[in-house]
A and B are shown apart, each in its own frame.
Chain A
């Protein structure tokens, strides 16, 4: 009798297990408009990632924490998925990247009226450039230790330094720069402008930590559902929510 009860219970559990949704903790740093506490649905990245994963049948829990904690938490297993990632080799040592779900240009910002000319990273040598602490811009640029880089904490600081002539240049995703100017210091719009040319066109990805059980499956599910959503137009609808923050040039 007891034996029978255990057998039934075991069978029941075995049937229910695949149906039980896994709760994934998705984390991103404060990087408006891609991710941010005050943004609608946590910003573009977190909105897209959670929508796609939910549609794939996962439970999702999102939060915004400082960048250092993002990296630490992803390595210790505190967080499962990191949103808002540019392509980066170092991060890919412990994170598996999904297909991109958004692309943005990374451009240099100069004081209005300056006419610096450069086409390669090497040609940036004469300039002082404000860069975000630990930010990923473009592989060659990030590696270039010979450049006169001034480390700041936020993109806005870089733009302000350019505006007040403390550095020659700063750089970031055009979306990030526009968002910072528009929301934090509109007066800056009269003092800075994008330097001609695009440093790199970056894509936004989701990264799943390697040691998460079923990480491959999650990425596969994500890529599949993302394709479906791109095809059925629901991705565009979702992006439209954040369109107001992506002010065109």
Chain B
């Protein structure tokens, strides 16, 4: 039973605190009592000296004067019988001397001048009495008193503490325990039993009642909020699923449609190409075929874009890296761009700017990277009328902090019309084209940059429009890509 109280940490600490305070107060109050008792006993002891003065000295003087030494002895014995008196020394002018006790070093002593005062005539000096007092007995007594008082006070403090332990346990701790167990055991889903404390009902409520009420009310509120949340979640899950289904249906539809359209489009392109390159085709028909081929190619591009977009939306695009020779890749990009420029029959230089000490191979997805860069070069070829298109590959100025891998920066710059600052923000949005007229004349869907951005994000790269124009270029796109360096076989072996 008691053990259980002592395991009640709160009560135990409370009791320890009360014990500590009780003990300190005990010592303090006992100390005060001690001092008071010491002072009064000291006064009592020293009072003996006054008492000798007032009551004994006269008879002593008379006895000494009349040489009544029996009486002198009786009086001295009387004085010496006082416990505080340690030494008496009486010497008379007649050469007689009496001593009692042993002389000691004590500050408490008094010397009495004994004299005879006759009714007439001169006062006669009879002798001197020295009385020494010791407070040893007083101190001993006071100490004894101190220990007894302290002990009783401590016992009182301990008994009170144990009683307090019991009371705290009964009145507070066990109820706290019940509340804690209730809160612990109550699950939000299933309503638990009502919180009830084992205590007599009172008319006036106290803090424990208030806690019980608060806990119960809180449980109710939590349950209600939870119910609302649960219905909300169920609704959202359902609508999300609906949306996902709709999206997938759309993507499948678009995918299927694009495929269904692309297959005949390819045969159209193929036959138009045959007509264009046929020997006996008259020039006029060859021109028609060329126009039709152009339109078909544009249609093909647009279909590819839509298809890519829907594949991105349905998460069908995956990135798979492979050791890739970036130089060769860049050379391909240059060729493709040159072909595009040729296709548009424009007089534009396509240049390649490769950093000298690039590593041989990088781990990257060449196909997807090419798709992004081609979108950029297509745009450059499309919107630039004369001048230069420059493709750059270099190490990014900012390299990874941990030193693993390399950051490559690939840039596509042109001397076209450029992109105004206020338009820079929306060119990456789907279906957004800046100059409606210009874009219409060039065709396109406004999806190229949006697809490029999403693909770049898929491969963890950053695609952005350079903010400042350099080397006379009107517009420059930058792709920063982090990729691992493919180590040489020598290095790998070691």
Contact = CB atoms under 8 A, between A and B. Distances in A.
26 contacts: A130-B66, A150-B66, A151-B66, A152-B66, A152-B67, A152-B68, A153-B66, A153-B68, A153-B70, A153-B71, A154-B68, A156-B67, A157-B66, A157-B67, A157-B68, A160-B67, A160-B94, A161-B65, A161-B66, A161-B67, A164-B93, A164-B94, A166-B65, A166-B66, A166-B116, A166-B124
A154 B66 CA distance: 10
Contacts of A156: 67
Interface string B194-218: 0000000000000000000000000
Given A154-B68, A161-B66, A166-B65, 9 more contacts: A151-B66, A152-B68, A153-B66, A153-B71, A156-B67, A160-B67, A160-B94, A161-B67, A166-B116
A177 B195 CA distance: 112
A3 to B, nearest CB: 64
Contacts of B93: 164
Contacts of A153: 66, 68, 70-71
Interface string B365-385: 000000000000000000000
Interface string B111-125: 000001000000010
Nearest to B93: A164
Contacts of A161: 65-67
Nearest to A166: B65
Interface string A136-176: 00000000000000111110110011001010000000000
Contacts of B70: 153
B435 to A, nearest CB: 150
What 8 A-B pairs come out closest when comparing CB atoms?
A: A160-B67, A157-B67, A152-B66, A157-B66, A164-B94, A153-B68, A157-B68, A161-B67
Contacts of A130: 66
Nearest to A185: B67
A150 B68 CA distance: 12
Interface in B86-114: 93-94
Contacts of B65: 161, 166
A130 B68 CA distance: 12
Interface string A168-193: 00000000000000000000000000
B191 to A, nearest CB: 108
Interface of A: 130, 150-154, 156-157, 160-161, 164, 166
A153 B66 CA distance: 9
A176 to B, nearest CB: 16
A136 B66 CA distance: 19
A166 B68 CA distance: 13
Contacts of B124: 166
A193 B127 CA distance: 26
Contacts of A151: 66
A157 B67 CA distance: 5
Contacts of A152: 66-68
A41 B330 CA distance: 161
Contacts of B116: 166
Nearest to A130: B66
Contacts of B94: 160, 164
A198 to B, nearest CB: 25
Q: Which of B65, B66, B68, B70 is the most central at the interface, judged by chain A CB atoms within 10 Å of its CB?
A: B66
A21 to B, nearest CB: 38
A225 B250 CA distance: 175
Contacts of A160: 67, 94
Contacts of A157: 66-68
A130 B94 CA distance: 17
B381 to A, nearest CB: 154
A154 B71 CA distance: 12
A35 B164 CA distance: 83
Contacts of B66: 130, 150-153, 157, 161, 166
Nearest to A150: B66
Interface in B19-69: 65-68
Contacts of B67: 152, 156-157, 160-161
A167 to B, nearest CB: 9
Nearest to A164: B94
Contacts of B71: 153
Nearest to A163: B94
B73 to A, nearest CB: 13
A152 B66 CA distance: 6
A13 to B, nearest CB: 50
Nearest to A187: B95
B166 to A, nearest CB: 74
A130 B67 CA distance: 11
A150 B66 CA distance: 8
A150 B65 CA distance: 10
A226 to B, nearest CB: 36
A154 B68 CA distance: 8
A161 B67 CA distance: 7
A166 B123 CA distance: 11
Contacts of A166: 65-66, 116, 124
Contacts of A150: 66
Contacts of A164: 93-94
A157 B63 CA distance: 10
Contacts of A154: 68
B120 to A, nearest CB: 10
B290 to A, nearest CB: 171
A128 to B, nearest CB: 9
Interface string B67-85: 1101100000000000000
A153 B69 CA distance: 10
Nearest to B69: A157
B64 to A, nearest CB: 10
Q: Which of B67, B68, B71, B124 is the most central at the interface, judged by chain A CB atoms within 10 Å of its CB?
A: B67
B43 to A, nearest CB: 37
B92 to A, nearest CB: 9
A157 B66 CA distance: 6
Nearest to A156: B67
